[in-house]
Amino acid sequence: MDGGVMKMDIAALATAFGVGGIVGSVVSLVLKHHLDRRHEWLRRRIETDRATYQERMTRLIAASLYAYIHSNRYRDGEKEELEQLIQELSDGAHQVRFLDVKVQAAWALLVRKTAECGWRRLADMITDQDVADYTKTLDTWLIAARVSFGPLPENDRPVMRRSATTASFERAA
Protein backbone atom coordinates (compact mmCIF):
# COMPACT_ATOMS: atom_id res chain seq x y z
CA MET A 1 0.00 0.00 0.00
CA ASP A 2 1.05 3.51 -0.74
CA GLY A 3 1.67 5.70 2.37
CA GLY A 4 -0.51 8.49 0.95
CA VAL A 5 -3.45 6.17 0.43
CA MET A 6 -3.10 4.84 3.98
CA LYS A 7 -3.17 8.38 5.40
CA MET A 8 -6.30 9.22 3.45
CA ASP A 9 -7.99 6.04 4.68
CA ILE A 10 -7.17 6.89 8.31
CA ALA A 11 -8.42 10.45 7.80
CA ALA A 12 -11.60 9.12 6.17
CA LEU A 13 -12.14 6.68 9.05
CA ALA A 14 -11.54 9.40 11.67
CA THR A 15 -14.07 11.62 9.94
CA ALA A 16 -16.57 8.79 9.62
CA PHE A 17 -16.42 8.01 13.33
CA GLY A 18 -16.41 11.68 14.40
CA VAL A 19 -12.92 11.49 15.91
CA GLY A 20 -11.95 14.77 14.25
CA GLY A 21 -14.66 16.60 16.13
CA ILE A 22 -13.63 15.01 19.41
CA VAL A 23 -9.97 15.86 18.86
CA GLY A 24 -10.94 19.41 17.93
CA SER A 25 -13.01 19.73 21.10
CA VAL A 26 -10.19 18.39 23.27
CA VAL A 27 -7.66 20.71 21.66
CA SER A 28 -10.05 23.65 22.14
CA LEU A 29 -10.57 22.80 25.83
CA VAL A 30 -6.83 22.39 26.44
CA LEU A 31 -6.10 25.69 24.69
CA LYS A 32 -8.86 27.49 26.64
CA HIS A 33 -7.52 26.09 29.92
CA HIS A 34 -4.00 27.22 29.02
CA LEU A 35 -5.18 30.73 28.08
CA ASP A 36 -7.27 31.00 31.26
CA ARG A 37 -4.29 30.00 33.39
CA ARG A 38 -2.05 32.49 31.56
CA HIS A 39 -4.61 35.26 32.03
CA GLU A 40 -4.89 34.46 35.76
CA TRP A 41 -1.08 34.43 36.13
CA LEU A 42 -0.83 37.77 34.34
CA ARG A 43 -3.56 39.27 36.55
CA ARG A 44 -1.77 38.09 39.69
CA ARG A 45 1.59 39.37 38.44
CA ILE A 46 0.07 42.78 37.79
CA GLU A 47 -1.58 42.88 41.23
CA THR A 48 1.66 41.82 42.91
CA ASP A 49 3.75 44.40 41.03
CA ARG A 50 1.22 47.14 41.82
CA ALA A 51 1.42 46.19 45.50
CA THR A 52 5.23 46.21 45.31
CA TYR A 53 5.07 49.67 43.72
CA GLN A 54 2.98 50.89 46.67
CA GLU A 55 5.34 49.51 49.34
CA ARG A 56 6.91 52.08 51.62
CA MET A 57 10.47 51.25 50.53
CA THR A 58 9.62 51.62 46.86
CA ARG A 59 7.95 54.96 47.52
CA LEU A 60 10.89 56.18 49.64
CA ILE A 61 13.29 55.44 46.82
CA ALA A 62 11.09 56.66 43.96
CA ALA A 63 9.73 59.76 45.71
CA SER A 64 11.67 60.90 48.78
CA LEU A 65 15.16 60.06 47.53
CA TYR A 66 14.26 61.41 44.11
CA ALA A 67 13.31 64.76 45.66
CA TYR A 68 16.45 64.79 47.79
CA ILE A 69 18.78 63.93 44.92
CA HIS A 70 16.99 66.15 42.42
CA SER A 71 16.65 69.32 44.50
CA ASN A 72 18.15 68.70 47.95
CA ARG A 73 14.63 68.65 49.45
CA TYR A 74 13.41 66.40 52.24
CA ARG A 75 10.77 66.29 54.94
CA ASP A 76 11.53 67.76 58.36
CA GLY A 77 13.58 65.27 60.36
CA GLU A 78 13.95 62.91 57.39
CA LYS A 79 17.53 63.66 56.35
CA GLU A 80 19.07 61.08 58.71
CA GLU A 81 16.63 58.43 57.46
CA LEU A 82 17.53 59.27 53.85
CA GLU A 83 21.25 59.03 54.66
CA GLN A 84 20.69 55.61 56.25
CA LEU A 85 18.59 54.50 53.27
CA ILE A 86 21.36 55.55 50.84
CA GLN A 87 23.84 53.49 52.88
CA GLU A 88 21.50 50.49 52.88
CA LEU A 89 20.96 50.76 49.12
CA SER A 90 24.72 50.83 48.62
CA ASP A 91 25.04 47.71 50.79
CA GLY A 92 22.32 45.95 48.78
CA ALA A 93 20.05 45.59 51.82
CA HIS A 94 16.80 46.43 50.04
CA GLN A 95 15.88 43.89 47.42
CA VAL A 96 12.43 44.93 46.20
CA ARG A 97 11.43 42.42 43.52
CA PHE A 98 9.04 43.07 40.67
CA LEU A 99 7.75 40.00 38.84
CA ASP A 100 7.89 41.67 35.43
CA VAL A 101 11.43 41.12 34.14
CA LYS A 102 11.69 44.49 32.36
CA VAL A 103 10.38 46.41 35.39
CA GLN A 104 12.80 44.55 37.67
CA ALA A 105 15.76 45.31 35.41
CA ALA A 106 14.85 49.01 35.31
CA TRP A 107 14.31 48.96 39.09
CA ALA A 108 17.73 47.41 39.77
CA LEU A 109 19.37 50.10 37.63
CA LEU A 110 17.37 52.80 39.44
CA VAL A 111 18.46 51.51 42.86
CA ARG A 112 22.13 51.53 41.83
CA LYS A 113 21.82 55.02 40.35
CA THR A 114 19.94 56.23 43.46
CA ALA A 115 22.73 55.06 45.76
CA GLU A 116 25.39 56.61 43.53
CA CYS A 117 23.64 59.97 43.21
CA GLY A 118 22.57 59.91 46.86
CA TRP A 119 26.19 59.78 47.93
CA ARG A 120 27.04 62.61 45.56
CA ARG A 121 24.18 64.72 47.00
CA LEU A 122 25.31 63.99 50.56
CA ALA A 123 28.84 65.10 49.67
CA ASP A 124 27.52 68.17 47.79
CA MET A 125 29.34 66.91 44.69
CA ILE A 126 26.34 66.21 42.48
CA THR A 127 26.30 67.80 39.04
CA ASP A 128 23.42 68.79 36.78
CA GLN A 129 24.40 65.92 34.48
CA ASP A 130 24.18 63.47 37.41
CA VAL A 131 20.67 64.73 38.18
CA ALA A 132 19.66 64.52 34.51
CA ASP A 133 20.97 60.95 34.25
CA TYR A 134 19.19 60.01 37.47
CA THR A 135 15.92 61.53 36.25
CA LYS A 136 16.23 59.60 32.98
CA THR A 137 16.80 56.36 34.92
CA LEU A 138 13.72 57.02 37.07
CA ASP A 139 11.63 57.84 34.00
CA THR A 140 12.77 54.61 32.32
CA TRP A 141 11.57 52.62 35.35
CA LEU A 142 8.26 54.51 35.52
CA ILE A 143 7.62 53.89 31.81
CA ALA A 144 8.37 50.18 32.21
CA ALA A 145 6.04 50.03 35.22
CA ARG A 146 3.21 51.81 33.38
CA VAL A 147 3.55 49.48 30.40
CA SER A 148 3.57 46.44 32.67
CA PHE A 149 0.85 47.17 35.19
CA GLY A 150 -1.00 50.27 34.09
CA PRO A 151 -1.39 53.82 35.34
CA LEU A 152 0.52 54.76 38.46
CA PRO A 153 -0.69 57.13 41.17
CA GLU A 154 1.14 60.31 40.22
CA ASN A 155 0.00 62.37 43.19
CA ASP A 156 2.00 60.44 45.77
CA ARG A 157 5.13 62.56 45.62
CA PRO A 158 5.73 63.90 49.15
CA VAL A 159 5.75 67.60 49.91
CA MET A 160 9.39 68.50 50.42
CA ARG A 161 11.26 71.43 51.84
CA ARG A 162 14.67 72.69 50.92
CA SER A 163 17.52 71.79 53.21
CA ALA A 164 18.81 74.49 55.53
CA THR A 165 22.07 74.61 53.56
CA THR A 166 20.32 75.15 50.25
CA ALA A 167 17.98 77.76 51.74
CA SER A 168 20.94 79.71 53.21
CA PHE A 169 22.72 79.66 49.83
CA GLU A 170 19.56 80.94 48.14
CA ARG A 171 19.19 83.77 50.70
CA ALA A 172 22.87 84.73 50.21
CA ALA A 173 22.42 84.86 46.43
Question: Which position has the higher pLDDT, 71 or 132?
Answer: 132
Asked whether the predicted pLDDT for residue 157 surpasses 50, the reply is: no
Percent of all residues in the chain with a pLDDT value above 70, rounded to a whole number? 74
Confidence at 165, pLDDT banded by 50, 70, 90? very low
User: What is the residue-averaged pLDDT of the chain?
Assistant: 79
Q: What is the pLDDT of residues 78-113, one digit of tens each?
A: 888 888 889 988 888 777 789 999 999 999 999 999
Output 58-65 pairs: Cβ under 8 A, ≥24 positions apart. Answer: 58/96, 59/156, 60/85, 61/85, 61/89, 61/94, 61/96, 61/110, 61/111, 61/114, 62/110, 62/138, 62/141, 62/142, 63/156, 63/157, 63/158, 64/158, 64/160, 65/114, 65/118
**Domain residue spans in the chain?**
1-51, 55-172
Interior angle at CA 152, CA 132 and CA 50, nearest 5? 115
Tell me the pTM: 0.68
Percent of all residues in the chain with a pLDDT value above 90, rounded to a whole number? 28
Strand-strand pairing, 73-74 and 161-162: antiparallel
**CA separation for the pair 103, 148 (Å, rounded):** 7
Q: Output the pLDDT for position 132.
A: 95
Q: Output the pLDDT for position 127.
A: 94
Please name every residue paired with 74 in a beta bridge, in sequence order, or none if there are none: 161
Q: Output the pLDDT for position 154.
A: 60
**CA separation for the pair 44, 47 (Å, rounded):** 5
